[in-house]
Structure 1
Amino acid sequence: MRRGAHSGRRRWRRSLRVRLVMWFLVLALLMAGVFIFGMQKSFSGGWAEAARPMLTDYADRLVAEIGTPPDVARAQALTQRLPISIRIMGPAVNWDSHPDQKTGPWRYERGLSEDRWFVRPTADGHRIVFGWAPRIWQGAPHAIGWFTLAALLLLVVLVYAAVSRLLRPLIDIREGAERFGRGEFAQPIPVRRRDDLGDLAQRINTMAHDIQGMLDAKRALLLALSHELRSPLTRARLNAELLPDAPEGAAERDALLRDLNEMRDLISDLLESERLASPHAALQREPVDLAALIREVAAELPHGESIALELAADLPPRPLDRTRARLLVRNLLDNALRYSAGAALPPRVLLEAEGTGVRLEVRDFGPGVDDAQLEHLAEPFYRTDSARQRATGGVGLGMYLCRLVAEAHGGSLEVRNAHPGLAIAVRLA
């Protein structure tokens, strides 16, 4: 759960859409700040000086209407008629239209002086201070604030939608590149616009089509060569078996047969690997008792009776391709027996249920391999011995075929050092 949340936050941080929207918001806030600052400076400068005479004259008219000495009833009538507050301070009258008011100039103006337009003296020594009525701040500003917040949120949503639409071709290109990397060329990248991004998507589609053509040509050439080599190899093997059983030529005859058998196995493995690697590979699925298949294959192998089998007895038959499943089990067991020569313990096979699938693990107790080589063991033609000596057997296609068979059945293959030995775990869906 934590790993998923961490990866989600990392994707958001790396998202180009989110960064573009954030930059838009920062730019909008900076522009708004500069505009507000400039307008405040403008109004506090020339505009304030231009408006002061009019405000002073209006305040004098209000003072004249209140009268001398100040008439509280008239002042109260003015506050009811106009959105203002009035405070009278003097020797005879001290009155405040809004005693609990937290707004107004006297709340933030220290040391009221006579040159303020909202502070007007009277002839009898009173001072009348004008301010805004509380209802102005209790009504309109709240509504305007909520409206402004809603407008900003709506603007963010609209900008995000616009940026997402703008960058949608990049997402298509990323998803298409991932498909092409997996060898899935059937679905091209959709070309949504006729601009630079659309041209890029079209060029990548063309490149993918060319790569698919080269891969298909390579597979066709390999399959054709493999098929063509089978016939002369079969004839050569038949001729070698028909050689006279002369004592002086028995060793050479056996060596020739071993070489021919190894070439036959290599061609068969090449053909099978290309069939499984093809996107059109078809499996002939049927219910297979995997435990019984493992016992059957172990009994066929030389020294297979020494393998320790730990097979779950209650596993139901699974829909597998029997031929490919047999190839998978045979390669795993043969590999474990080959590298268990001289080991203290024989190979061990573990078969158990795992979720809705099964897990097959084959472990030997041999020398194992270097950790740096583990990720390469399932690659084609990879062998841990650099000299590629015949004594170790095989040509490096066994683990590759096992991985292809597991993936063709919707599973996976994992190789790890078991200390001692090597453990190969196959999960089948």
Structure 2
Amino acid sequence: MSRRPRPRGPHGPHGQWHHRWRHSLRLRLITVFVLLAMAMAAVFLGGMQRAFSNGWRGAAQPLVGDYMDRLVAELGQPPDVARAQALVTRLPISIRIEGPVVNWDSHPDRRWRGFGPRSSEWLTRSTADGHRINFGLGTLPWQREPHGIGWLTLGLLLALIVLAYAYVRRLLRPLDDIRAGAERFGSGAFDQPIPLRRRDELGDLAQRINTMAHDIQGMLDAKRALLLALSHELRSPLTRARLNAELLPATPEGAAERAALLRDLAEMRDLISDLLESERLASPHVALQREPVDVSALVREVVAEHPEGGRIVLDVAAGLPALALDRLRIRLLVRNLLENALRYGGDAAEAPRIALRASTEGGVELEVRDFGPGVDAEQLERLTEPFYRTDSARQRATGGVGLGMYLCRLVAVAHGGTLAVRNAQPGLAVSAWLPGAASPA
């Protein structure tokens, strides 16, 4: 059975290297440096060769010609092979003798090489006795140990490339600091600024980003302080308004208006409580009152207290350990997820489900699923944003004010966990992972 060859697409070694090269400023700078060095070397060598071949040929030809005449005279007539061998041994030249008496080649085992183009007319001599003597290049000094010089040259080139890469890496190191700092600032961690390593353009950019992060932190702190102050100050007049509404005479004519007023005041009270709790949980220094919590018992308790809890299907695993959690915050998480499932899946043919099981990563995983219409795929990521609601009419009777899922995410994150939302088809499934450390019994 033949095996199908694996395609070498963008995920192959070549594709990975190309992707990395395109997204790495260091690699591109090193490539430009190497190509520039090779181009400069080629231009220099080509220019020097052109200058020597054109400019010095006319000056060197009479000198070389005179030297060739002296070598021919030294060989004698007819040419003496012993003298020719001595010249080849002493000088880096090759000699070929052709004639009626002597036929000899100093390098018969390799291709004949002259000194360059058009050199045959001034490197060839004919003697009076009919011999023709050709001179060419022999074994040059650097050709006697070609491997050593080649490896040395290659080592020097590699060393230059490594040094260039190290220098470019050191030069662009502030970019790594800026990227890491931008990620920290994006997640809301403004306590660690970007380190300033140099006083160049990148250092100035890092300083400006630090200043921007400091200003953003100041604006967020001011917004949080204003929201907390307003929420706190609204509680007192809201409590008085509710008390006055309850003291109104319960006449048959005003019973409906009185009930509507009390319902609106209760929604305002819950909204203020959710705002205060969301700001507390959003703080990086949120204080959790951890205690040993039996999550399975807490889930059953919240379901039993809810007026529509009898409709909920529970799937709770046995033998779950007690975890060190904030009981009030976990109750808030379970209650909000339960109310969300009943609000959007209460009219479905199948009742909402709550599953609680041990997580493979430690802790427990709580999943609340309804069988309602679900939400659009592009809205899933925004469900846990504050004040975001999927219905365009923004009616509180159907969608609340948009803080329930946001509070659930804050509770899970404050405990070191996560909150994930997905379309279960049908319905919506919300999974909360709580990695609280197991508490001793």
* Global fold match (TM > 0.5): yes
Q: Distance in 2 between matches of 1:150 and 1:321?
A: 63
Q: Deviations over 1:268-310 (max 9, x none)?
A: 1111111111122233333333222222211121221221222
Q: Cα distance 1:153–1:231, how it changes in 2: closer, same or farther (>3 A)? A: same
Q: Cα distance 1:76–1:330, how it changes in 2: closer, same or farther (>3 A)? A: same
1:377 correspondence with 2:383: yes
Alpha-carbon distance, 1:242 to partner? 4.2
Q: Distance in 2 between matches of 1:113 and 1:233?
A: 109
- Which residue matches 2:292? 287
Q: Cα distance 1:8–1:186, how it changes in 2: closer, same or farther (>3 A)? A: farther
1:21 correspondence with 2:30: yes
Q: Select between 283-292 and 182-191 the one with higher mean Cα deviation.
A: 283-292
1:201 correspondence with 2:206: yes
Match of 1:224 among 224, 229, 251: 229
- Which residue matches 1:361? 367
- Which residue matches 2:266? 261
The secondary structure found in structure 2 opposite 1:145 is: helix
Q: Deviations over 1:147-206 (max 9, x none)?
A: 222222222222222222322333322322222121111111222222333223222222
Q: Select between 187-196 and 233-242 the one with higher mean Cα deviation.
A: 233-242
Match of 1:321 among 326, 333, 336: 326
1:251 correspondence with 2:260: no
Match of 2:74 among 52, 62, 65: 65
Q: Distance in 1 between matches of 2:119 and 2:262?
A: 118
1:391 correspondence with 2:397: yes
Counterpart amino acid of 2:345?
S
Alpha-carbon distance, 1:68 to partner? 1.5
The secondary structure found in structure 1 opposite 2:178 is: helix
Alpha-carbon distance, 1:135 to partner? 6.0
Q: Distance in 2 between matches of 1:233 and 1:87?
A: 116
- Which residue matches 2:276? 271
1:50 correspondence with 2:55: no
Counterpart amino acid of 2:230?
L
- When the two structures are superposed, what TM-score results if normalisation uses the length of structure 2? 0.88
Q: Cα distance 1:221–1:77, how it changes in 2: closer, same or farther (>3 A)? A: same
Alpha-carbon distance, 1:114 to partner? 5.4
> Is the contact between residue 114 and residue 121 of structure 1 (CA under 8 Å) also seen in structure 2?
no
1:417 correspondence with 2:426: no
Alpha-carbon distance, 1:54 to partner? 1.8
1:78 correspondence with 2:124: no
> Is the contact between residue 317 and residue 357 of structure 2 (CA under 8 Å) also seen in structure 1?
yes
> Is the contact between residue 174 and residue 203 of structure 2 (CA under 8 Å) also seen in structure 1?
yes
CA RMSD of aligned residues (A): 2.6
Q: Distance in 2 between matches of 1:8 and 1:101?
A: 43
Q: Cα distance 1:312–1:86, how it changes in 2: closer, same or farther (>3 A)? A: farther
Q: Select between 265-274 and 164-173 the one with higher mean Cα deviation.
A: 164-173
> Is the contact between residue 379 and residue 400 of structure 1 (CA under 8 Å) also seen in structure 2?
yes
How many pairs does the alignment contain? 424
Q: Cα distance 1:135–1:246, how it changes in 2: closer, same or farther (>3 A)? A: same
Percent pairwise identity: 71
1:403 correspondence with 2:405: no
Match of 2:156 among 141, 151, 154: 151
More helix by share: 1
Alpha-carbon distance, 1:254 to partner? 2.7
Unaligned runs of 5+ in 2: 1-9, 436-441
Counterpart amino acid of 1:196?
E
Q: Cα distance 1:63–1:368, how it changes in 2: closer, same or farther (>3 A)? A: same
- Which residue matches 2:134? 129
The secondary structure found in structure 2 opposite 1:105 is: coil
Counterpart amino acid of 1:384?
T
Q: Cα distance 1:8–1:31, how it changes in 2: closer, same or farther (>3 A)? A: closer
Match of 2:216 among 201, 211, 214: 211
Q: Distance in 2 between matches of 1:411 and 1:48?
A: 82
Q: Distance in 2 between matches of 1:65 and 1:31?
A: 44
Q: Deviations over 1:89-126 (max 9, x none)?
A: 222222222322346339x98xx985132x33222222
Q: Distance in 1 between matches of 2:182 and 2:200?
A: 19
The secondary structure found in structure 1 opposite 2:22 is: helix
Q: Distance in 2 between matches of 1:171 and 1:60?
A: 70
Alpha-carbon distance, 1:266 to partner? 0.8
Q: Deviations over 1:58-93 (max 9, x none)?
A: 222222222221211222222222233322222222
Q: Cα distance 1:272–1:114, how it changes in 2: closer, same or farther (>3 A)? A: closer
> Is the contact between residue 273 and residue 404 of structure 1 (CA under 8 Å) also seen in structure 2?
yes
Counterpart amino acid of 1:147?
L
> Is the contact between residue 88 and residue 95 of structure 1 (CA under 8 Å) also seen in structure 2?
yes
Counterpart amino acid of 2:203?
G
1:340 correspondence with 2:349: no
Q: Distance in 2 between matches of 1:289 and 1:10?
A: 50
Q: Distance in 2 between matches of 1:343 and 1:26?
A: 68
Q: Select between 407-416 and 221-230 the one with higher mean Cα deviation.
A: 407-416
The secondary structure found in structure 1 opposite 2:56 is: helix
Q: Distance in 1 between matches of 2:216 and 2:28?
A: 34
Q: Distance in 2 between matches of 1:249 and 1:222?
A: 35
Alpha-carbon distance, 1:3 to partner? 7.3
Match of 2:167 among 147, 151, 162: 162
Counterpart amino acid of 1:411?
G
- Which residue matches 1:303? 308
> Is the contact between residue 368 and residue 419 of structure 1 (CA under 8 Å) also seen in structure 2?
yes
Counterpart amino acid of 1:158?
L
Q: Distance in 1 between matches of 2:277 and 2:429?
A: 24
Alpha-carbon distance, 1:365 to partner? 0.7
Alpha-carbon distance, 1:243 to partner? 4.3
Counterpart amino acid of 1:300?
E
Q: Distance in 1 between matches of 2:19 and 2:365?
A: 33
